[in-house]
């Protein structure tokens, strides 16, 4: 019999099936959709994170980023849009469906995306590298795989920005000699995972080849990842697990099993199986640890697909159970972005 898990407001967000997988309920889908809807057109507070080349850059967020100006920062807006697309695909009868379509249509216009591309042309080379780039590729992939008339129009509108970011990957990866192994935005392994998914899905051979080649350059010889050093106090990604989740994509199943045995022996893995404690969800850095628990879950699900590990499935469930009920908080520090992490983690179980 399924075990139902409750959110703070007593809505039923997730359930556990007989195989131990955590699944989203319709009530949960509606709840998380509302979190994204409440912020994708909420302009302030806003963290622009830009280098000012001159005073022409001193503009309102919506002028600089006509499509992705909400949800506190650009990348959170992008993955908020991805989440709404994903939820519409999975739950087309959501009560919020019409509102979701309306807001996506208002934001993902050809004109707005032209403005986003224009900003990229003037932004520093490292702007949103590669975290925001990666989420944009995930949004583009989600739209490209949806045979819905409106979605196909949004996809076509988004394509120039997708192409601009692919160009940045193609320019940057050949000159990036060392990977970034931090547990926050610049993490290279995470930054390569979603564009590789995109390349595999749409058949972009050049991007796929480059990412796979660089991933092997960066990570193929890695062993004994220092998992017992994780987490640091503001991680929302596991450096060890994100690397493994990327290599699971790059290597065939047998190659990955051999690599995994050297990379993260059982005694090292043990330290990652217990969810991180989040002491203050009103603190914008400490609440990152909720994201860490959710991203660990999606990595556990991904890795388990190759090594057939019940321990991984159980660990993913434990992390989700510890975290999902706490996403329904009044603190914008977490609510503007964590819902997307929930949906991606749950989708990874499929």
Q: Report helix, strand or coil for 12.
A: strand
CA 339/CA 334 separation, integer angstroms = 8
What is the per-residue pLDDT across 26-79, written as a single tens digit (0 to 9) for each?
Answer: 999 999 999 999 999 999 999 999 998 889 889 999 999 999 999 999 999 999
Residue 276 has, within 13 A of its CA and on its CB side, a CA count of: 28
Instruction: Please report the pLDDT score of residue 9 as a whole number.
Output: 46
Instruction: Please report the pLDDT score of residue 320 as a whole number.
Output: 95
Instruction: Please report the pLDDT score of residue 2 as a whole number.
Output: 41
* pLDDT range class, residue 10, cuts 50, 70, 90: very low
Burial 250-271 (b: 16+ CB within 10 A, else e): bbeeeebeebbeebbeeebbee
CA 298/CA 320 separation, integer angstroms = 10
pTM exceeding the 0.85 threshold for the entire prediction? yes
Calculate the average pLDDT of the chain: 93
Instruction: Please report the pLDDT score of residue 53 as a whole number.
Output: 86
Helices H, strands E: what count in the chain? 16, 3
Instruction: Please report the pLDDT score of residue 328 as a whole number.
Output: 64
């Amino acid at each position: 019999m399924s075990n139902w898990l409750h959110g703070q407001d007593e809505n039923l967000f997730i359930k556990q099936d007989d195989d131990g997988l955590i699944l989203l309920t319709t009530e949960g889908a509606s709840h998380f959709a509302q979190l994204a809807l409440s912020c994708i057109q909420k302009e302030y507070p806003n963290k622009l994170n830009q280098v000012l080349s001159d005073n022409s850059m001193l503009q309102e967020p919506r002028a600089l980023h006509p499509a992705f100006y909400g949800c506190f920062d650009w990348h959170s807006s992008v993955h908020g849009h991805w989440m709404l697309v994903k939820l519409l695909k999975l739950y087309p009868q959501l009560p919020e469906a019409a509102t979701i379509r309306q807001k996506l249509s208002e934001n993902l216009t050809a004109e707005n995306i032209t403005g986003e591309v224009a900003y990229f042309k003037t932004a520093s080379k490292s702007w949103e590298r590669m975290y925001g780039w990666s989420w944009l590729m995930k949004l583009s992939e989600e739209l490209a795989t949806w045979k819905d008339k409106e979605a196909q129009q949004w996809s076509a509108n988004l394509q120039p920005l997708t192409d601009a970011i692919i160009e940045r990957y193609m320019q940057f990866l050949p000159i990036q000699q060392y990977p970034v192994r931090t547990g926050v935005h610049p993490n290279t392994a995470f930054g390569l995972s979603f564009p590789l998914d995109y390349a595999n899905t749409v058949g972009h051979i050049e991007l796929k080849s480059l990412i796979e080649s660089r991933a092997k350059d960066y990570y193929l010889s890695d062993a004994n990842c220092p998992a017992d050093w994780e987490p640091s106090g503001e991680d929302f990604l596991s450096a060890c697990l994100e690397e493994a989740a990327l290599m699971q994509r790059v290597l065939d199943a047998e190659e990955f099993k051999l690599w995994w045995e050297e990379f993260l022996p059982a005694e090292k893995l043990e330290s990652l199986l217990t969810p991180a404690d989040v002491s203050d969800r009103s603190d914008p850095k400490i609440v990152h640890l909720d994201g860490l628990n959710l991203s660990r879950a999606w990595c556990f699900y991904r890795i388990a697909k190759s090594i057939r590990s019940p321990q991984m499935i159980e660990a993913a469930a434990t992390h989700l159970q510890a975290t999902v009920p706490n996403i329904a908080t009044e603190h914008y520090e977490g609510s503007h972005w964590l819902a997307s992490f929930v949906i991606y983690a749950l989708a990874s179980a499929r």
